[in-house]
Copies of this chain bind each other. A is one copy, B any other.
Amino acid sequence: MRKLERSIVAVLLGLLAAPVLAQTTVLSAARIHTMDTARPLARAMAFDASGRILALGDADELQARYPQARRLDVGSATVVPGLIDAHAHVGGLGFAMLGADLVGTASKAEIIERLRAKAAQLKPGEWLLGNGWDQNDWPQQSFPTAAELDVVFPDRPVWLSRVDGHAGWANSAAMRAVPRDLAGNWQPDGGMIQRDAAGKPNGIFIDNAMLLVEHARPAPDEATSERALALGMQAAVEHGLTGVHDAGITLAELRRYQRLADRGQMPLRIYAMADGNSDALESLCRNGLYRHPSGRLQMRAVKLYADGALGSRGAAMLEDYSDDHGNRGLLVMSADELAVASAKAKRCGVQVATHAIGDRGNRLALDTYAHALGADVAGDHRWRVEHAQILAPADLARFAQLHVIASMQPTHATSDMPWAQERVGAQRIVGAYAWRQLRDSGARLAFGSDFPVESVDPRLGLYSAVSRADGEGKPAGGWMPQEKLNAFEALRGFTLDAAYAGFGENELGSLAPGKRADFVVLAEDPLAVPDARLRTLDVRATYVDGRPVYEAGKAASAAAP
């Protein structure tokens, strides 16, 4: 063959090969933990241009099978399925990020400095929001007051939530915006307004009292709300999340997500729950379960609320709180309301996910499910209890019996462990945050974070699940160490079982032929590092549908599709 002919052939072959090169990728890594029990470990994975996994195996084997494929070698890194947060609030995280970040501030002076910088970006009169302050980090460890903010911000409302979300610090302009007169000696249910000797509120609002100020804030405009969603999703993918179950959104919020999805601006998958027995559920019943063609957004669940939270003693308990006799917490929706909403969901084929913290709240959720599902309990409903935090011994086995998923947040256990036993005592604590007991009983565990109540970072959840310890590894051996999971099980809660909780296990949650190439590249092997190192795993990249949505050291990727 003459030289020219050879060149032409080469060019033609190149033209033929080019689309093939663009189509298929062979990823190779030191190890790929597939979470697929049939093949837990692989060294390489091939996926096509649409992000569909073709095969797993050894690198040589797959490169031989797909000789034209683009090669993506991540060297000594470990690949795991994309992490899914089964219970979180994307908009809430985004709004928190839009406010001033006060985490780690060492004094009120530093807070004022950060607030001034943030205020410079705001319109006159616009609320100045912030979060993350902690008086324990200050030279004087007492609660701050409105007066300290008023000096700098006499007219602009300022509202700053404490690092744990259980207290808020308002200035006088913010308190003036509250319609109800805050003076006097009244207190809201499940909360406390701090007041001076004269009965005048001093700017600190605890737990449910915070709602008085929250509700006084003007609703954010549409652009800000959309920006909050985008910020929340971006933070998620930067931490290795490829999916989030958004635990309660209105129809307006669904529309907002839809617009982002239409524009190809969803970097990860949102599995939304309609908030309460309201407009979004009504829409599901009228129009059917919702799925965006991109595969990045769906809504087919409804979030209901049995009770409140443990920290503020709002969780509904079967007996009195151990540290508050006469108080058994409260129901947020009545048994009747839960029954009506669950029956409606059942009728419409909608999955129910009920917030339940206390043992009474959980029993009510289980009773409601048993009644609503009736003889059809073994069908593929996948109804969930969100949090499932304190369970009466008799109710533990009912999750498996009723095929109810326990949607739990490992970091809640380690955040609450300093005081949880005071609330419920030595007997009831045995059924608290009882991952292992639930798993042993045959229940499925889906893991999440409840961000922004806890950090968006799923590494902290993995660490909590295996250690039951705080960031310093205390208490030694973990709190109620019998409940500890191994790293594989923790990872499974944030992958395959979270996918299952969103009816997604045929597409997501493990890396197997036919599934979506949603994965995370980690510098270390999460199944091989000491527990403490799980908190600092180095997330190198996050891929959704085979494309990077986050790469360490690079600016935010264009979201696709």
Question: A residues engaging B (CB < 8 A)?
Answer: 37-40, 426-427, 430, 436-437, 439-440, 442, 475-478, 480-482, 484-489, 525, 527-530
Contact of A40 among B476, B482, B485, B527 (CB under 8 A): B482
Task: List 17 A-B pairs, Cβ < 8 Å.
Answer: A38-B430, A39-B426, A39-B427, A40-B430, A436-B488, A436-B489, A442-B442, A475-B528, A476-B529, A477-B525, A477-B528, A478-B528, A482-B488, A482-B489, A484-B487, A484-B488, A485-B486
A481 to B482, CA, bound (A): 18
* Interface contact A480-B430, CB-CB below 8 Å: no
With A476-B528, A477-B525, A477-B528 in contact, do A486 and B40 touch (Cβ < 8 Å)? Answer: no
With A40-B430, A430-B37 in contact, do A482 and B486 touch (Cβ < 8 Å)? Answer: yes
Given pairs A39-B430, A476-B529, 9 additional interface contacts (CB within 8 A) = A38-B430, A39-B427, A436-B486, A436-B489, A475-B528, A477-B487, A481-B488, A484-B486, A530-B530
What B residues does A525 contact at CB under 8 A?
Answer: 476-477
Contact of A527 among B38, B439, B481, B487 (CB under 8 A): B481
Q: What 4 pairs across the A-B complex have the smallest Cβ distances?
A: A477-B528, A482-B488, A484-B486, A476-B528
A338 to B135, CA, bound (A): 72
Contact of A486 among B38, B426, B486, B530 (CB under 8 A): B486
A527 to B468, CA, bound (A): 12
What B residues does A39 contact at CB under 8 A?
Answer: 426-427, 430
A38 to B482, CA, bound (A): 12
Residue of B nearest to A492 (CB): B482
Task: Give the Cβ gap from A354 to chain B, nearest Cβ, in Å.
Answer: 25
Contact of A529 among B37, B477, B489 (CB under 8 A): B477
With A38-B430, A40-B430, A426-B39 in contact, do A528 and B442 touch (Cβ < 8 Å)? Answer: no
What B residues does A529 contact at CB under 8 A?
Answer: 476-477
Residue of B nearest to A40 (CB): B482
With A442-B442, A485-B486, A486-B486 in contact, do A480 and B436 touch (Cβ < 8 Å)? Answer: no
Task: Give the Cβ gap from A59 to chain B, nearest Cβ, in Å.
Answer: 15
A476 to B76, CA, bound (A): 14
* Interface contact B487-A481, CB-CB below 8 Å: yes
A39 to B431, CA, bound (A): 11
What B residues does A488 contact at CB under 8 A?
Answer: 436, 481-482, 484
What B residues does A530 contact at CB under 8 A?
Answer: 530
Task: Give the Cβ gap from A334 to chain B, nearest Cβ, in Å.
Answer: 33
What B residues does A475 contact at CB under 8 A?
Answer: 528
A486 to B481, CA, bound (A): 8
What B residues does A427 contact at CB under 8 A?
Answer: 38-39
Residue of B nearest to A488 (CB): B482
A177 to B225, CA, bound (A): 90
Task: Give the Cβ gap from A170 to chain B, nearest Cβ, in Å.
Answer: 42
What B residues does A484 contact at CB under 8 A?
Answer: 486-488
What B residues does A38 contact at CB under 8 A?
Answer: 427, 430
A442 to B397, CA, bound (A): 12
Task: Give the Cβ gap from A396 to chain B, nearest Cβ, in Å.
Answer: 10
A478 to B487, CA, bound (A): 11
A64 to B481, CA, bound (A): 30
What B residues does A437 contact at CB under 8 A?
Answer: 37
With A436-B486, A440-B439 in contact, do A40 and B480 touch (Cβ < 8 Å)? Answer: yes
Task: Give the Cβ gap from A547 to chain B, nearest Cβ, in Å.
Answer: 28
What B residues does A478 contact at CB under 8 A?
Answer: 527-528
A476 to B487, CA, bound (A): 13
A552 to B489, CA, bound (A): 38
